[in-house]
Amino acid sequence: MPRVRMNSRRVACLSMAFAAIMAAMPVHAVEPYAAPAWLPGGHLQTIYTHLLIHAPQVEYRRERLELDDGDFLDFDWVDGVPGQPVVVLFHGLEGGSDSHYARDLMHAVQQRGWTGVVAHFRGCSGEDNRLPRAYFAGDSVEIERILRHVKSRYPDAPLYAVGVSLGGNALLKWLGESGNAAQVLVTRAAAVSPPLDLTAAGNALDQGFNRNVYTARFLASLKAKSLRKADRFPGLLDADAIEAATTFREFDTLVTARLHGFVDADDYWLKNSAKPLLKSVAVPTLVINAKNDPFLPAWALPTSADVSPTVSLEQPDDGGHVAFPSGPFPGNIDWLPQRLMQHFEARGR
């Protein structure tokens, strides 16, 4: 048969038409999360998913926003059909647009014909930020700055916000503090595995297996960044003490609290936990926490009495931390983006 040659303009038009069709199709109902029998337990679900389940590759368009304070924020975009919704993702601790959950969600967003963006916190886009500050779990000012920027790019499109882990706590804190005013920027929101009680999460991560595996891995990256900042701003941080730190309590006292105006780790954790603010959230918000998440004990999770009527809590027995693997071996991570998209599609219902 003869080969049909198509020019790039026609291909682009067909791609846009396909995306528009996908955008108009309803999202099918997603079953409540159930872990595969071959992958039991919170630790296995977390570690296997993060290391061995591969998320789709996503081609991003990077935008750098220069800030009035002399610093910058980097945004990685996937472009969709004009007029369709926009999804902004706030990543977790030391995460970014290459994180498995970011690629998986942005792929789903792109398949839907929507626009998506991963908003990097300062110092998380592959380049150290310029100022003697970093990012932290309750930076409401930064959350609003990012949301206002994204909204300015697409003022007429519904804006959906997702926060993962640390980013989830920060987003929920902003939503609670903003109350009804948040609806000017955000149509619907979701948080995945947010450490809603930072004290409970910090204590859990600083003990036993958690300390030797998860905390040690996070600190390797966090300490390297902090030591470069200590070298760049002499007298700001205690480099020797940072080198010796082996717990989040030590690191958050030496670095996070020092850079962002808190007394110590306990003061930082207490003042930035989102859980006490959930009763003030006015935007329809889905909060997903697995009861076997190694990062946050089940006893610290909120109940329906702790949240406003606009907040929906989903707390499956399994799922680990930002994992929720599914399917037969070797598994996939499709459940989470499908559930998030279903939540966003529920607008107006």
- Catalytic residues, by residue number, are 165, 293, 321
Best CA proximity match to 174, nearest among 203, 222, 136, 200: 136
Sheet of 159-164: strands edge to edge? Answer: 61-66, 72-78, 115-119, 86-90, 159-164, 188-192, 285-288, 311-314
Separation of alpha carbons 112 and 114, rounded Å: 5
- For the chain, how big is the Rg over CA atoms in Å? 20
For 38, other C-beta atoms within 10 Å of its C-beta total 13
- By CB atoms closer than 10 A (0-12, 13-18, 19+), residue 183 is middle
Q: How many CB atoms lie within 10 A of CB 176?
A: 24
| CA–CA dist 224, 128 (Å, integer) | 11
The phi, psi pair for 101, rounded to 5°, reads -70, -30
Q: Residue 348, Cα to own-chain centre: how many angstroms?
A: 25
- Strands 72-78 and 115-119 come out as antiparallel
Instruction: Say whether 271 sits in a helix, a strand or coil.
Output: helix
